[in-house]
Structure 1
Amino acid sequence: MKNILKILFVGTSLAMGSCSDLLDTEPRQSLTPETAFADVEGYQSLAYSMYGRTRSFSYYGQVMMIAPEVMADNLKVIANTGRYIGQEANADRAHINLWDFSTTNNFRGLYASINDANIILDGIDGVDGDENLRNRVKGEAYFIRALNYFDLARVYGYEPGQEVNGWDQSVILRTTPTLGLSAADFRARSTNTEIYDQIIADLNQAISLLPTAEMGEEDVYRASRGAAQALLAKVYLYTSMYTEAASLASDAMTSFGLSASGNGLMEVDDYVAGFSIAPNPESLFEVEIRSQDWNSVDGLNNSVCSLVANVYPSAQFILTVSDDLLASYEPGDVRRETWTQTTREGSSAIVYRSNKWLGHKGDFLENLPIMRASELYLIRAEARYNLGNEDGARSDINALRSKRGLGATSASGTALMNQIMYENRVEFAVEGHRWFDLKRNGMTITKSGSFEEVPYSDYRILAPIPQDEIILNDLLENNPEYN
């Protein structure tokens, strides 16, 4: 029976990873790799589909923005619809799932997107086409594959140097396409170091191939050299390679025209309104969502806007800011204005809607910035702090604070690191950073209200690999205490 399931799984995986449902140039039954990928433009079409997977509600379209906030201490549930109840309580197996091939919202796990990238990188050099376009599509494939593996690695594994009891297993590494049964196989998990080495190699390739982009312009809807530099800076921070993190953050700032004093960041009066502009004026890489990308009820049922705001009468509005996050804002901090007091039908409690996600494109629709310019200042500040350069760290923090309506900090030592963590918390509330910022630093996951904290040594820090995958693959071992 297990062998039969494996055969079914492989066949399903191949169908999901294929390109036949991505292009409409020929009838599906006659479309072959030879006709779909006869030139560089054919591979560019697959790259567009690869980008499209990023906006899935099971990925950045919702889960990666919301779950890391609920699982830590930034958001709380105000209506029990069954969503995020387990994540708020950090219940067993209530985590983030980026692995398996669910058909929900056309989300088939990140390995489908990784396979798209692998198809591109395996074949694009063998077809005719413009060299500049070829390099761009290759660079995009390296970038998206790196982003996918980075997210898988931080959900399912510890960061290098932060392992608990020596557990260094990460995810399965695949860098070649699966195009038929003869190419399909089952593999064991690679180590966290092996996965991060691949991510770093991919991003260095992307940097060498991608064009530049201007911050806040439509070019940020696709990967650029500056976006790859920014993501690599973040990856280096996660791997405690602080010299490299500071250097790449500086390179990305140069690519996007950001100054050490904060010039290029939004001014105080523009900050809140910036989240209702497409693209966001500080966007380095942004997921574009258009009305044709959704079914008729997607926005109502699944959008970030529907879950955290009530600007549309039919909104779900099930999540609001935690009490301690709301109380933590300093007087004059414009980021406090991203929350507006409101009401929710059926509840007498004081609740707040998020002003970051207001569905400004209509009918719950908005783009989602995945990386913003302010992150570069905080990456470099943290890297500099860990390198013993407290003056440089303070300079970066104060550059950001000056654009958020606040005066300079003079914190030093542990208080300075706490300030960096705090700035990350308030700057990126409802943008999916909080859980990962605590985890990558080996910190206890703090909670709001009456929920118990999650010690870093607790098994719930890592997500479980879906049990169906464990059953199908004899080589696949689950994370500790999930067996």
Structure 2
Amino acid sequence: MKNKYVGRWVMMLILPCLLAACSENVLDLVPVTQRTVTNFYNNESQINAGVNGAYGLLQRQGQYGSGLIVLGEIPSDNTYSEVPANDGGNYGQLDLFSTIALNTVVNSAWTHTYRGIQQCNVILNRIEPVMMDETIKNHRRGEMLFLRALSYFNLVRVFGDVPLVINETTNVNEYFGQGRTPRAEVYRQILSDLAESVALLPPNADRQARATLGAALALQGKVLLTLRQYDEAIVVLNQVLSLGYRLLPDPEDVFDPSNKNNQEMIFSVQFASGVNGNTEGSLAFQLFSPSGSVGGAKGHNLPTREMYELYSQQDLRRQAYVGLRNNGVVFTRKFRQTSNDPVDGGSNVAVLRYPDVLLMLAECYNEAPNRNPARVAELLDQVRFRAGLTSPTNTTDQSTLREAISLERRLEFVGEGHRWFDLIRTDRAIEVMNAYFSRTPGFQNIRINANHLVQPIPQSQINADPATLQNTGYN
């Protein structure tokens, strides 16, 4: 299903700005002046420029510039917004569960993700008749299918039902009045795209940091896990184990900016400092630094002190992933200062990491009809032992293993945008968050219910097309 607002952004993308000026952080794009999409994408060079554009759109603020990270983390018990009023209160609303349909973080996530989807659709629509090596053509198609699947997976987890657009949009009038597509149908399309991308993508990318077979399989496994198709997810995720990824021996090296795209990173969004007049960096370091620590620091997505205390003294991640200021404020070390300009951060954003695959597999083996507790413990301990924890997991109890997996995911992925979706996937969000609010000063009057498990549809979307209905509980 499609709608006018999506179409409106599509029409913007048809203009020349798509390949040059409409994104603040687009790497490796070919300058385009008066050409439109109709006259473009006629040869391999132009296709590659369009593919670069699709990757570049992942850097937008509403996607992995910051929006998708905070939407998957701040609503949880992992992180918070230090000064809720900063940036117009838009991040604070996510923290306090007072989000409104005019929230700019929510609006940017919707808008920027659909821009990326349209770019994928354009390439998929235009690539077939282009004369180029068939193997490379298949790789490019696989990349676009992967990015489209990732984009819809993000949208459906944040908003629930969303408009499903899988064709290049050229006529806005075709999309008015279509409303939102049920999430079950969106998930079917996601799995279809991923199945096709698995068949097309190579184990090793022909260009650095591009989507590969491993990325498609890891995302496919995450989607199947989310849908509780545990046996199917086990088959898929086990294939990733044979592709050469590994846990780095020292957690300190995982997010070192000088060690980007290491063997633990299955897929990450690329940022770079000092490139193109400091326009290719990320705002994440500044946004996620405690107030007063660097110029313009916003204090968003800071790990809670409670989260910090979950690390044992021997856990190497306690210093590798987080830090503690003299005033007791915890900060993330997953986004580091790489230049004198704090808004020009060079840290990549991890989307899929190898420990995620290990812990997803552990969860599947624990929840599958034919449980395998020994395998659960083995996978869990690979992550724990790398972190310097020496005591092996010694239980077969399903509930105890659930808690152990949940804890390990918190310790491993804090600040990366996983925790809120983990709580929703395991049906624990309401229980865990209301208990957290009850014991946390400043939050004790907050209670959430099922309506809070999705964000509001942006008001601009509803204004553009009244057929798009708001999520329950939001005005």
TM-score, normalized by length of structure 2? 0.85
- Name the amino acid aligned to 1:129: M
The counterpart of 1:420, out of the listed 405, 419, 423, is: 405
Q: Distance in 1 between the 2:268 and 2:44 partners?
A: 24
Q: Distance in 2 between the 1:141 and 1:417 partners?
A: 35
Question: Residue 183 of structure 1: CA displacement?
Answer: 4.9
Partners of 2:305 and 2:330 within 8 A in 1 = no
Deviation sequence 1:249-287 (CA, Å, 0-9, x none): 1111212x25xxxxx2111xx212321122244100011
The counterpart of 1:433, out of the listed 418, 434, 439, is: 418
2:14 equivalent in structure 1: 18
The counterpart of 2:360, out of the listed 361, 379, 388, is: 379
The counterpart of 2:64, out of the listed 60, 67, 79, is: 60
- Name the amino acid aligned to 2:376: A
Q: Distance in 2 between the 1:127 and 1:298 partners?
A: 30
2:26 equivalent in structure 1: none
Question: Residue 438 of structure 1: CA displacement?
Answer: 0.2
The number of equivalent residue pairs is 443
Question: Residue 86 of structure 1: CA displacement?
Answer: 1.4
Residue 353 to residue 471, structure 1, CA distance change in 2 (3 Å): closer
Partners of 2:284 and 2:335 within 8 A in 1 = no
Q: Distance in 1 between the 2:70 and 2:134 partners?
A: 39
Task: Calculate percent identity across the aligned residue pairs.
Answer: 26
Q: Distance in 1 between the 2:172 and 2:298 partners?
A: 45
- 1:49-448 equivalences under 5 Å are 49-79=53-83, 80-82=85-87, 83=89, 84-93=91-100, 100=107, 108-157=111-160, 170-181=161-172, 183-213=174-204, 221-255=209-243, 257-258=244-245, 264-267=246-249, 270-276=250-256, 277-291=259-273, 302-308=283-289, 313-316=294-297, 318-319=299-300, 320-337=302-319, 338-343=321-326, 349-360=327-338, 363=341, 364-387=345-368, 388-407=371-390, 408-411=392-395, 412-443=397-428, 444=430, 445-446=432-433, 447=436
Q: Distance in 2 between the 1:281 and 1:455 partners?
A: 41
Residue 11 to residue 142, structure 1, CA distance change in 2 (3 Å): closer
SS at structure 2 position matched to 1:350: coil
Residue 284 to residue 452, structure 1, CA distance change in 2 (3 Å): farther
Unaligned runs of 5+ in 2: 21-29
Q: Distance in 1 between the 2:367 and 2:104 partners?
A: 32
- Name the amino acid aligned to 1:375: D
Partners of 1:333 and 1:404 within 8 A in 2 = yes
Q: Distance in 1 between the 2:340 and 2:254 partners?
A: 16
Question: Residue 213 of structure 1: CA displacement?
Answer: 2.4
Residue 72 to residue 96, structure 1, CA distance change in 2 (3 Å): farther
Q: Distance in 2 between the 1:95 and 1:11 partners?
A: 20
Deviation sequence 1:53-95 (CA, Å, 0-9, x none): 1111221111222343221111233335245221111114389
SS at structure 2 position matched to 1:360: coil
Deviation sequence 1:171-221 (CA, Å, 0-9, x none): 11111111234655442211121111100010111111111128xxx9561
Q: Distance in 2 between the 1:19 and 1:205 partners?
A: 29
Q: Distance in 2 between the 1:26 and 1:74 partners?
A: 41
SS at structure 2 position matched to 1:171: coil
Deviation sequence 1:19-60 (CA, Å, 0-9, x none): 52244668633x133531112332221111111111112211
* RMSD, matched Cα: 2.9
